[in-house]
Structure 1
């Protein structure tokens, strides 16, 4: 699979919670009440405020983890308290995965040594502590999250916007993203399922649906392509739904099954897709949009005009006009066709 499996991140997050319960009994409740205050009491662990330009290190949050003795959790000092709490829990997830052998083994079994899985599992772990499934079930229907439902979940909890985005992404019915945008269109936080993740800090303000939401009250629906590499590359077309989130815009984007629409067929393909063939008669490689033959499953070659089926009649090239004719166009063993005789 090209992109991280959501189930793998969820399984790793559950394993992290199991380790937390075993190694630090009662810590889950204390972390939910005040993550940073609780972590400052842990021996062998130090919590530091760090400037924004020293946070991140490839993480989805404004924070950093530094292994050592003591290990250091860095949290960007400019963020809101709720965001700092989520970041602290996210970085605690890195600490657990980099110090507990049973969690490290899972990462090492991944093709990239667990780089993508580790960060996604940290998000899921933090969101699990801050947002219990019972609360999520109350606000997000079986069909999946709308932007309004995700915002309602956030308002009903003490969790950060980021934690809410992660929990909402776990309920996406199809490949897609949950995005948290600053009012200038900068991606403050994003979490993805089945699609390549967008870069934190990327400018999404030129996406028409998002531009409408950013310039108005925050609500917009439509279809559009999100931007990668500072707008140089567009992703595939997605259904988009947005809502205002107290100074931010939350956007839900999916390839299909959009829960805010009665009918949302896949937006992944805009038209016919060409197929590549190699002609079994003349050996030429070609690409065709034409319907394939039902017998040989090949389109007709543009060079020789044949599909992959064997000819029912034998052919012969006339030595006079050099045209290939069916055998019936020749008298006996004659090398000249009837038109040339």
Structure 2
């Protein structure tokens, strides 16, 4: 995505790095709009939305966000625009088994790399990988949001791990990870050893060698953790090994705990987490998400629109079972 802009519009890429909101507000190919959170819709990992069926396509950004978070969200949504309007990027998505997850992840990384290019962070990143104080240094040295700094740091973790942003009450605000299942956004991690220590020492950098993540099914295996404070929020780096802030951090062999099946599920279609209910699909017998998506095979939940020719999910039709009925966009 960045290579595409480098080849086709280097001036735009430079402008996005310095003033994303200003550059996108003046960009003729898209319409940047600040809207109430209720108008952005579901399906995105940020508080925004992309509407391809408007002319020009709309980038929706929640107006209540901070200026930094608005910039990160706007770039994320512009990433969706690039993915859905460039043939090569679109083909790459279609050829991937998890195309929607790939699109979301790539938009996150795209936004963080535009705001935090290698030229900016190379001197701030320890050779053994970032720690929590590195994330704080990214924030202090750029116009990037805390979430963007977390995404960028997670890319560079040696051996993988998670970078987690917590509100002052220990609730997870944002996560980014490689090779480690992060805590769910909105989950309460205040009782975990590292977060409890950080909350008891506002403004300080703290460490814990036996912390963990709380999941709805139990807890993770023991983790090394370091946390610090970034503009009123706590940010933590959690790793199973290779913790850059320690001279020696070997892999632990102790397992996590398991308390039972998760009450939370993730929809494969809209990528939203939801609570398991008794509303089961009659065909595949899996709980439906709030948008009534299920786990039926693609052939049972998608069909081409007779007008635009696009193959779309049945939620995009008013009468999916009638093959002559067009999609909602064409109706």
TM over 0.5: yes
From 91, 95, 98, the equivalent of 1:105 is 91
CA shift, 1:203, in A, is 1.9
CA shift, 1:54, in A, is 4.6
From 224, 229, 250, the equivalent of 1:265 is 250
Higher mean C-alpha displacement, 91-100 vs 49-58? 49-58
Structure-to-structure mapping, 1:47-86, within 5 angstroms: 47-55=32-40, 57-70=42-55, 71-86=57-72
* 8 Å Cα contact 1:139-1:150 kept in structure 2: no
1:32 corresponds to? 17
Q: TM (normalized to structure 1)?
A: 0.69
Aligned equivalents of 2:179, 2:91: Cα separation in 1:
24
**1:244-277, Cα deviation, whole Å (9 max, x unpaired):** 111000100111010111111113x217xxxxxx
* 8 Å Cα contact 1:107-1:118 kept in structure 2: yes
CA shift, 1:26, in A, is 0.8
Aligned equivalents of 2:182, 2:60: Cα separation in 1:
23
**Structure 1 residues 198 and 50: CA distance shift in structure 2, 3 A:** farther
Count of residues in correspondence between the two structures: 252
**Structure 1 residues 187 and 206: CA distance shift in structure 2, 3 A:** same
Aligned equivalents of 2:230, 2:157: Cα separation in 1:
19
CA shift, 1:187, in A, is 1.5
State the SS of the aligned residue for 1:205.
coil
From 145, 155, 170, the equivalent of 1:185 is 170
* 8 Å Cα contact 2:224-2:243 kept in structure 1: yes
Aligned equivalents of 2:30, 2:79: Cα separation in 1:
13
CA shift, 1:197, in A, is 4.0
1:209 corresponds to? 194
From 125, 132, 138, the equivalent of 2:123 is 138
Does 2:137 match 1:123?
no
Aligned equivalents of 2:215, 2:40: Cα separation in 1:
21
Aligned equivalents of 1:56, 1:151: Cα separation in 2:
31
Aligned equivalents of 2:35, 2:65: Cα separation in 1:
11
Structure-to-structure mapping, 1:193-272, within 5 angstroms: 193-217=178-202, 218-222=204-208, 223-229=210-216, 232-267=217-252, 269-270=253-254
**1:197-219, Cα deviation, whole Å (9 max, x unpaired):** 43322222221210220232243
**1:6-27, Cα deviation, whole Å (9 max, x unpaired):** xxxxxxxxxx012223443410
Q: Note the residue ranges of structure 2 that are not aligned, 5 or more in a row.
A: 256-331
Aligned equivalents of 1:119, 1:248: Cα separation in 2:
24
State the SS of the aligned residue for 1:242.
strand
1:337 corresponds to? none
Q: TM (normalized to structure 2)?
A: 0.71
CA shift, 1:241, in A, is 0.5
2:270 corresponds to? none
* 8 Å Cα contact 2:154-2:160 kept in structure 1: no
Aligned equivalents of 2:43, 2:211: Cα separation in 1:
26
CA shift, 1:68, in A, is 1.2
**1:299-318, Cα deviation, whole Å (9 max, x unpaired):** xxxxxxxxxxxxxxxxxxxx
CA shift, 1:175, in A, is 2.3
**Structure 1 residues 171 and 25: CA distance shift in structure 2, 3 A:** closer
2:268 corresponds to? none
From 77, 82, 87, the equivalent of 1:96 is 82
Structure-to-structure mapping, 1:145-156, within 5 angstroms: 145-156=130-141
State the SS of the aligned residue for 2:191.
coil
Q: Note the residue ranges of structure 1 that are not aligned, 5 or more in a row.
A: 1-15, 272-341
**Structure 1 residues 208 and 109: CA distance shift in structure 2, 3 A:** same
* 8 Å Cα contact 2:162-2:181 kept in structure 1: no
| RMSD, aligned CA | 1.8
